[in-house]
Chains A and B, each alone.
Chain A
Amino acid sequence: MHPLRKQRLQLVILIVVAAALVIGLVVYMLRENGNFFYTPAQIISGEAPQNTFLRAGGMVVDGSVLRSDDSLWVQFKITDGVESLTIEHTGILPDLFAEGEAAIASGKVDENLVLQATQILAKHDEKYTPPEVADAMNAAYKAKQEEKEEKEEKEEQSGSYK
């Protein structure tokens, strides 16, 4: 390579490295602010800012969804596996909102540690499956669970014989 071109190549590399360094530091500084939501554990431990508008994200706990008969009021719990947080909202929920699926609620946490949400978003995962396959998978999962339960029962019984 000609020395002049080598020099220009070095300059190009310098530009890219310097830009990466500067932007990398900015991104590093933003690492917390870059998050779209807080987890229930962060909110309950007080790590999340209090008395302000925020978003909370987690799995909707199975069996926790309560609906009002005469209004659009809904209450449910979300969890990150560590803590769970109660959400209350009046309004229409997105199509993909369901128990056992991820949801993000935005609003303010009141004094009873209930998030009064003004908006509910459903979070989709990266998996895509045809309905038949999903049904088959669910059936297989159920069969496995039942098998497990049967096995446990048998073990208990055999244990009692001993």
Chain B
Amino acid sequence: MNWLSNKLSAGPSNESPSWQWFYRLGSPRWFYLRSGQWLPWLSLAALLVLATGLVWGLAFAPEDAKQGNSFRIIYIHVPAAFLAQSGYFIMAIAGAIGLIWKMKISYMVMKAAAPIGALLTFVALFTGAVWGKPTWGAYWVWDARITSMLILLFLYAGVMALQYAYHSVDAASKASAILALVGTVNIPIINKSVDWWYTLHQPATIKLTSAPSMHMDMFMPLLVMIVGFYLFYAVALILHTRNEILRRERKTSWVRELVTAKAGG
């Protein structure tokens, strides 16, 4: 790893003005203060959208002709699986930005994204199993889609474990970022698994290139739930990142001031 760390460390100091905005974004203090202003609005939006989607999907959407009411688990399963995969890209891109630009905040975002993604992946696998038993006749099968999704869970767990495998925060961040980048290859495999192989899992219902193979009355609440999960993900990611900022910057004067102001007020 030495050749890698040598190449990845030693940051330059002078930078052209066109990149200045990027560095301001990377200041933990700036991010902490700004995100504090966004959080109440984002949380409120997430709550409203999720509540709307859930009530709409679970109570008002029509039942499926073949599956009856058991299909309604789609309103949790599909958004969770979506975000588990999008969240992996967010984690890997944050890792790449950390490796290239040495931005402290991006490593914090990467670390924060891992447990959220792991949880969402678990939710997707668990709801799939609950639905699979009555529908397919089995909780679990080793088909390409389900196995590649399990690998995603292990990748998230790997990134989480690597964070604690090193004494130095910098070394842990670099190692996690490299693992996260290597693991991105799994995302297109998950996505395409149902087309590349014969699987028990059905092909995608929602596609970018064509209309969804789902009745509009069922699809609209699903769309609302997906938007709601994205908002929820943003809230969760910001909260976790803020925690990490406070933990890593606890010795800086601005965090000390913040804490004494909170304690005093």
Whether A121 and B200, one on each chain, are in contact in the complex, defined by CB atoms closer than 8 angstroms, is: yes
Say whether, besides A128-B218, A129-B64, A96 and B135 are in contact (CB < 8 Å).
Answer: yes
Q: Which of B96, B202, B215 contacts A123 (CB 8 A)?
A: B202
Chain A residues with CB under 8 Å of B236's CB are none
Say whether, besides A36-B199, A121-B141, A121-B200, A128 and B213 are in contact (CB < 8 Å).
Answer: yes
Whether A133 and B135, one on each chain, are in contact in the complex, defined by CB atoms closer than 8 angstroms, is: no
Whether A2 and B12, one on each chain, are in contact in the complex, defined by CB atoms closer than 8 angstroms, is: yes
Is there a chain B Cβ closer than 8 Å to A64's Cβ? no
Cα(A125)–Cα(B141), bound, Å = 17
Closest CB-CB distance, A11 to chain B, in whole Å?
6
Whether B214 and A94, one on each chain, are in contact in the complex, defined by CB atoms closer than 8 angstroms, is: no
Binary interface encoding of chain B residues 52-65 relative to chain A, with 1 for a CB under 8 A from any of its CBs, else 0: 00000000001111
Q: How many residues of A contact B (CB 8 A)?
A: 48
Cα(A27)–Cα(B8), bound, Å = 30
Cα(A124)–Cα(B68), bound, Å = 13
Binary interface encoding of chain A residues 19-60 relative to chain B, with 1 for a CB under 8 A from any of its CBs, else 0: 110011001000100111111000000000000000001000
Looking at B33-41, B115-123, B176-184, the stretch in contact with chain A turns out to be B176-184
Whether B214 and A128, one on each chain, are in contact in the complex, defined by CB atoms closer than 8 angstroms, is: yes
- 19 pairs across A/B with beta carbons < 8 Å? A4-B12, A5-B101, A15-B182, A16-B185, A20-B185, A23-B186, A34-B144, A34-B196, A36-B198, A94-B134, A94-B135, A101-B66, A121-B200, A122-B136, A123-B136, A126-B203, A126-B204, A131-B65, A133-B215
Whether B198 and A121, one on each chain, are in contact in the complex, defined by CB atoms closer than 8 angstroms, is: no
Whether A126 and B200, one on each chain, are in contact in the complex, defined by CB atoms closer than 8 angstroms, is: no
Is there a chain B Cβ closer than 8 Å to A119's Cβ? yes
Is there a chain A Cβ closer than 8 Å to B246's Cβ? no
Looking at chain A's contact residues, the main secondary structure is mixed
Whether B213 and A36, one on each chain, are in contact in the complex, defined by CB atoms closer than 8 angstroms, is: no
Chain B residues with CB under 8 Å of A24's CB are 185
Is there a chain A Cβ closer than 8 Å to B205's Cβ? yes
Which residues in chain B, 126-158, are within 8 Å of chain A measured between CB atoms?
Answer: 134-138, 141-144
Cα(A27)–Cα(B185), bound, Å = 11
Binary interface encoding of chain B residues 72-84 relative to chain A, with 1 for a CB under 8 A from any of its CBs, else 0: 0010000000000
Say whether, besides A16-B181, A23-B185, A131-B63, A31 and B136 are in contact (CB < 8 Å).
Answer: no
Name the residue of chain B whose CB is nearest to the CB of A32. Answer: B197
Chain B residues with CB under 8 Å of A131's CB are 62-65
Is there a chain B Cβ closer than 8 Å to A156's Cβ? no
Closest CB-CB distance, B23 to chain A, in whole Å?
12
Is there a chain A Cβ closer than 8 Å to B217's Cβ? yes
Binary interface encoding of chain B residues 82-105 relative to chain A, with 1 for a CB under 8 A from any of its CBs, else 0: 000000000000001001110000
Is there a chain A Cβ closer than 8 Å to B257's Cβ? no
Chain A residues with CB under 8 Å of B8's CB are 8, 11
Name the residue of chain B whose CB is nearest to the CB of A8. Answer: B100
Chain A residues with CB under 8 Å of B134's CB are 94-95
Whether A121 and B63, one on each chain, are in contact in the complex, defined by CB atoms closer than 8 angstroms, is: no
Which residues in chain A, 99-118, are within 8 Å of chain B measured between CB atoms?
Answer: 101, 104
Say whether, besides A16-B184, A129-B215, A131-B65, A9 and B100 are in contact (CB < 8 Å).
Answer: yes
Name the residue of chain A whose CB is nearest to the CB of B198. Answer: A35
Is there a chain A Cβ closer than 8 Å to B243's Cβ? no
Is there a chain B Cβ closer than 8 Å to A127's Cβ? yes
Cα(A147)–Cα(B131), bound, Å = 40
Cα(A122)–Cα(B201), bound, Å = 10
Cα(A26)–Cα(B50), bound, Å = 40
Closest CB-CB distance, A74 to chain B, in whole Å?
13
Cα(A162)–Cα(B206), bound, Å = 53
Most B CB contacts (10 A, CB to CB) among A27, A97, A125, A135 go to: A27
Whether B200 and A8, one on each chain, are in contact in the complex, defined by CB atoms closer than 8 angstroms, is: no
